[in-house]
Amino acid sequence: MAVPTETVAADLDRWTLERLPRLNSAVLDGSSPPEAMAKEVTETLAALPDPDAWSTAEARRVLVHLSLSGASLVRHYQERGIAPADQPALPLSLVPVGTGTAPFADYFVRLASRPEIGHPVRDSYAALVRWNTPTAEVRRDGEVLGRLPGVFGDDSIRTYTGEPGEAAFLVLLKKAEALELAANTVLLDFFGNGDPAADGGRGPDLLGTEAVERMHTAGALLAGVHRLNLDFPRLPAREQLRTDHFMDVLRQFATHWSPGDIPPSGAQDVEYLKRDLILGIDFPGYFAAVRRQFPALLAEERAALLSLADRTSLPARVLAAVRDSGADPARTPALAACYFLLQVNARVSASHFMLTEKYLFKPHRQREEAGLPDGPLVSHQAGTTGIVERTLRRLLDGRKRHALTFLDGADRGELLRTAGLAGEHRASSEDTDAMVRFTRQVDIA
């Protein structure tokens, strides 16, 4: 008699939470060879049923487990020189999965390719961050503004080694994306995506009171993202992500499964990408760069980004409405509100750049000066998707050079009063904790 899929999934979850971190740590400290890990992974995955037997929710959970164990095996075999450069995922071909003993990679592809899943054919940001971590709920003034679901319905966060800093990093990414999702939703639900055909040619009142309030709310939410980034390096010592662990352990799991594929990366935070398309960014060829991330995104994420491609940015639409009205730009509440929204967006970008400098580029330069070698699998000269420091700085500058920079010279106090703001968008740690919290709710069927 077949074991219920719920039981198999629960057993697999316990193994990922308890055994996988120990196995990875043992291989990393040299006390156990990769082959021993491959043997236990094979034994653990032998109970998995046919990929079509899982419910949609179970399939997503299983993809999280397979992503973590697959990335672990690929990393260790490559690091030991057992897997050749042109066959990085060789160990996965040696690991049979399920009662049908399908090769790991084949089983993964069948599960990921189910139409309602639409997952890439390797581990992903979506599985590692969004599905793995608890559901993040965003509230403001008692109203739920957004919910970014997890798929497990518990408080656990699955990591490679059990190091608290790994979980803290995933929490940062998940909560930031939840706030970004809420901000994007607040804007898109009212302003639309800039396609006149979507509403029969009758657009929203871009200069009205609701437009101003929506931009204020989005700005407050982005201030929460900014605060999360600022607070991350200041976490209690036992929760902090150590720079050496980030560079030498965590990043090295983001290696190739096939030549030229795209490993998981914060660059695949789809809500960040959507916000750039909504608010605009002065970066030639930006959407072409976004498209290069498509193989690493869920099908629904690609569709969302395509719906925003080649649309007029929100600031450009508001500015055009002001000009059509003949009003003084510096005295138009909606334009002033949009200006301060763009300002906090630039600060979010600056805080993100600060984190990459702290955890990657500055320590890499220090290591170079000391004559220390680069990362064995994932170079520290660039992000995991190959974005170098210079490009990140250009992206930051592109967000600072927004469409309303001509208001930089306006009297700040007067502009704030015009916008109806007491001050620029800022959030305290307490404000942010109240805005975004984890729940055990699972919204994905």
DSSP string, 71-99: HHHHHHHHHTT-S-TT-TTHHHHT-EETT
Banded model confidence at residue 69, pLDDT cuts 50, 70, 90 = very high
pLDDT > 90? residue 341:
yes
Among 66-80, 221-235, 376-390, the range scoring the smallest mean pLDDT is 376-390
Where do the DSSP E strands lie in 98-243? 102-103, 135-140, 143-148
User: Mean pLDDT over all residues of the chain?
Assistant: 94
Beta partners for 382?
A: 388
- Domain that includes residue 57, residue range: 5-119
User: Are residues 93 and 221 both part of a single domain?
Assistant: no
Give the pLDDT confidence score for residue 27 in this predicted structure. 98
User: Are residues 382 and 354 both part of a single domain?
Assistant: yes
In a domain, 443, yes or no: no
Mean pLDDT, residues 16-40 taken together: 97
In a domain, 63, yes or no: yes
User: Are residues 164 and 107 both part of a single domain?
Assistant: no
User: Are residues 100 and 140 both part of a single domain?
Assistant: no
* Whether the predicted model's global pTM rises above the 0.85 cut: yes
Give the pLDDT confidence score for residue 301 in this predicted structure. 97
pLDDT > 90? residue 60:
yes
pLDDT > 90? residue 216:
yes
pLDDT > 90? residue 195:
no
Mean pLDDT, residues 89-100 taken together: 88
- Residues ≥6 apart with Cβ < 8 Å to 177: 129, 130, 136, 148, 269, 270, 271, 272
In a domain, 124, yes or no: no
Residue 201 sits in a domain of what CATH number? 1.20.58.480
In a domain, 112, yes or no: yes
User: Are residues 109 and 168 both part of a single domain?
Assistant: no
Give the pLDDT confidence score for residue 89 in this predicted structure. 85
Banded model confidence at residue 73, pLDDT cuts 50, 70, 90 = very high
In a domain, 332, yes or no: yes
Beta partners for 36?
A: none
User: Are residues 306 and 217 both part of a single domain?
Assistant: yes
Phi, psi values for residue 436, rounded to 5°: -130, 125
Banded model confidence at residue 331, pLDDT cuts 50, 70, 90 = very high
User: Are residues 398 and 428 both part of a single domain?
Assistant: yes
Total domains, the chain: 2
**CA 171 distance to own-chain centroid:** 10
Q: Over the stretch 163-185, which tens digit does the pLDDT of each residue have?
A: 999 999 999 999 999 999 999 99
CA angle 396, 401, 404 (to 5 degrees): 135
In a domain, 113, yes or no: yes
In a domain, 392, yes or no: yes
User: Are residues 103 and 140 both part of a single domain?
Assistant: no
User: If DSSP codes are grouped into helix, strand and coil, which group holds residue 373?
Assistant: coil
Integer CA distances (angstroms), 52 to 55, 93, 117, 352, in order: 8, 21, 12, 40
pLDDT > 80? residue 196:
no
User: Are residues 101 and 188 both part of a single domain?
Assistant: no
In a domain, 204, yes or no: yes
User: Are residues 292 and 428 both part of a single domain?
Assistant: yes
User: Are residues 205 and 115 both part of a single domain?
Assistant: no
